[in-house]
Amino acid sequence: MIKGLIFDFDGTIIDTETAWYTAFQEAYKEHEVDLTLEQYSTCIGTSLNSFNPYEYLMTDLKLDIDKAEFRKAVRQRHSELMEVQAVRPGIQHYLDSAKAAGLKIGLATSSDRNWIDKYMDQLGIREYFDCICTADDVENVKPDPELYQKALSCLGLKPEEAVAIEDSPNGSKAAAAAGLDCVVIPNEITGFLKFETPHHRIESLSHLDFDHVLTRRCFQDMNLQV
């Protein structure tokens, strides 16, 4: 039996990813540019180093756009879209079940602390987490394993004693590199992406018995799922 769960945040606990993609898509269309999912997916679950959707129109396409105003407009639209979002199905049950079972609960996210604090308070779930590791706490974010390694250390657990809950390829790569088994619950956006590491994939946690994760039963026939 496992001793802990480590959750990703964006796209996993709450679906911020679909709202971001929609906000950027709409902003790009105003400038007659198509933002493909393939292009946008490179920055999901990681930093904006490989593809920065805030700057691409200006730096790569050389469009005459005010960066500050563009960023402000995208964030405003994202906030509007997020007003109707709640925790994803099954998440609350898993948090309650993990607490009741005496498991340690961690968070490993490539987002910064201010972003996480905002939604932790909005969703009222902060008290569930024994350890919160963000981009502010590490040198390298996902797909590097550092966030998961730090979370494991913080929780006092070995990799084989915990399970990661993720939604993105970069997140599952990070979990696998840190030695954790991973349950993947893709959202509307990440469900179309290719996963290259073994994991147990399911539409939502509400479709996966908590005891099957607790006892690792769901990983017995785990293989490479894409």
Q: Please report the sign of the dihedral spanned by the C-alpha atoms of residue 159, residue 128, residue 97, residue 143.
A: negative
Half-sphere exposure of residue 56: CA atoms within 13 angstroms, side-chain side: 19
Check if 8 is active-site.
Answer: yes
Which of the residues 10, 137, 144, 181 is marked catalytic?
Answer: 10
CA dihedral 19, 138, 178, 208 (to 10 degrees): -30
CA dihedral 47, 53, 59, 65 (to 10 degrees): -140
Strand partners, 182: 164
Check if 60 is active-site.
Answer: no
Token readout for 86 is 């709640």
**Active-site residue list:** 8, 10
